[in-house]
Amino acid sequence: MSSNARHVPVMLQRCLDMLAPALTEPGAVVVDCTLGAGGHSEALLKTFPEARLVALDRDPTALELAGERLKPYGERATLVRAVYHELPEVLERLGIPKVQGVLFDLGVSSMQLDEAGRGFAYAQDAPLDMRMDQTTGISAAEVLNTYAPGDLVRILRAYGEEKQARRIVEAVVRERAAEPFSNSARLVDVIREALPQAAKRHGGNPAKRTFQALRIEVNAELASVEAAIPAAVAALAVGGRIAVLSYQSLEDRIVKQVFAAGATSTAPPGLPVVPERYQPRLKLLTRGAELPTEEEVAENRRAAPARLRGAERIREDIR
């Protein structure tokens, strides 16, 4: 199956509508910080024929496949191997001082989930890798086999919001002493056996939260999001817009906090007139987080946990 056939971009029309007012002028630059299979990028190029696209991904396979998909757009599309928090360096290298649009589709891409050998999906057996860029860093198996028990508990609680973290880690430590972990099916089995029956009745696959936690740790995802969202806001020209799709509460919380801070006056209380430097830099484009429609979830089950937030740059930073 081709990446085009299997990948349905999440909340695509809503993202395009949100970014549209900023991307109508000739020469507008839009950055897709999470290229993946290229679905959102292709739609941006098609919908905004005057715009130039810069697309980032750390995964060489994604860049290769999306590059083929976007080839018809020629020099309008610039694909860069980079993690999204490296956006400022990428724009500086390309000689682009400000951009008119930024899109993030956070988390693991559909393409990576569908690639059995990557080990992202708990529903199929595969090597426990989970690296978005398989040429660097440590794998999920190495995390499971070498981290101290206390660190594993912390990761599962912080990144997976797993209430049964201690039970799972005790089972993992016991099992890895007998034989190191190497594949996902064995980990799923260990988690199932470790959990009490009550914990297995709700919330889908009981391994879901552990796999999420390992993936975030392996790819340093939250640290990257914490750096990337403020960097993207800083890169926006006045009138520029940013749209961010999140799929779990930890990411969404970071986006919410950055946007809320940008949309809030920083003036000391009691000033009769608020000076320009204290005025909000952002205007929120969503009330809370927008959710996918029932129709979209029926068509694309991976859209179900999506949360979309958007903001518009309304003022430059004044120092």
DSSP states of 196-228 as a string? Answer: -GGGGSSSS-TTHHHHHHHHHHHHTHHHHHHHH
Q: Is residue 319 a part of any domain in this protein?
A: no
Residue ranges for the chain with pLDDT beneath 50: 1-6, 114
CATH number at residue 198: 1.10.150.170
Same structural domain, 226 and 215:
no
Please name every residue paired with 243 in a beta bridge, in sequence order, or none if there are none: 103, 310
Domain that holds residue 207: 116-219
Same structural domain, 193 and 232:
no
Same structural domain, 214 and 231:
no
Residue 53 to residue 45: CA distance in whole angstroms:
7
Q: Is residue 133 a part of any domain in this protein?
A: yes
What pLDDT is stored for residue 109 in this prediction?
53
Same structural domain, 63 and 127:
no
Same structural domain, 95 and 236:
yes
Looking up tokens 């006056």 gives 265
Is position 27 annotated in a ligand binding site? no
What pLDDT is stored for residue 201 in this prediction?
63
Q: What is the pLDDT of residues 242-268, one digit of tens each?
A: 999 999 899 999 999 999 999 998 888
Q: Is residue 241 a part of any domain in this protein?
A: yes
Q: Is residue 7 a part of any domain in this protein?
A: yes
Residue 172 to residue 195: CA distance in whole angstroms:
12
Is position 40 annotated in a ligand binding site? yes
Same structural domain, 76 and 17:
yes
What pLDDT is stored for residue 66 in this prediction?
94
Please name every residue paired with 56 in a beta bridge, in sequence order, or none if there are none: 80
Same structural domain, 87 and 129:
no
Residue 103 to residue 40: CA distance in whole angstroms:
9
Residue 160 to residue 248: CA distance in whole angstroms:
9
Contacts 24+ apart (CB under 8 A), 14-18: 14/290, 14/308, 15/40, 15/103, 15/243, 15/245, 15/308, 16/43, 16/44, 16/47, 18/241, 18/243, 18/285, 18/308, 18/310
Residue 222 to residue 250: CA distance in whole angstroms:
8
**Domain boundary residue among 180, 199, 219?**
219
Q: Is residue 283 a part of any domain in this protein?
A: yes
**Domain boundary residue among 219, 245, 260?**
219
Residue 55 to residue 80: CA distance in whole angstroms:
6
Is position 112 annotated in a ligand binding site? yes
CATH number at residue 254: 3.40.50.150
Same structural domain, 210 and 276:
no
Is position 7 annotated in a ligand binding site? no
Is position 84 annotated in a ligand binding site? yes
Q: Give the total number of structural domains in the chain.
A: 2
Residue 188 to residue 172: CA distance in whole angstroms:
11
**Cβ pair 103, 31 in contact under 8 A:** yes
What pLDDT is stored for residue 116 in this prediction?
52
Q: Which two tokens stand for residue 58?
A: 């750390």
Question: What residues contact 34, with CB distance under 8 A and at least 6 apart?
Answer: 40, 56, 57, 84, 103, 104, 105, 106, 109
Amino acid at position 69, single letter: R
Same structural domain, 296 and 263:
yes
Is position 270 annotated in a ligand binding site? no
What pLDDT is stored for residue 73 in this prediction?
96
Q: State pTM to two decimals.
A: 0.85
Q: Is residue 318 a part of any domain in this protein?
A: no
Is position 105 annotated in a ligand binding site? yes
Same structural domain, 228 and 300:
yes
**Domain boundary residue among 190, 219, 248?**
219
Looking up tokens 């999420």 gives 212
Same structural domain, 11 and 71:
yes
In 3D space, the residue among 161, 162, 218, 154 whose CA is nearest the CA of residue 195 turns out to be 162
Same structural domain, 276 and 152:
no
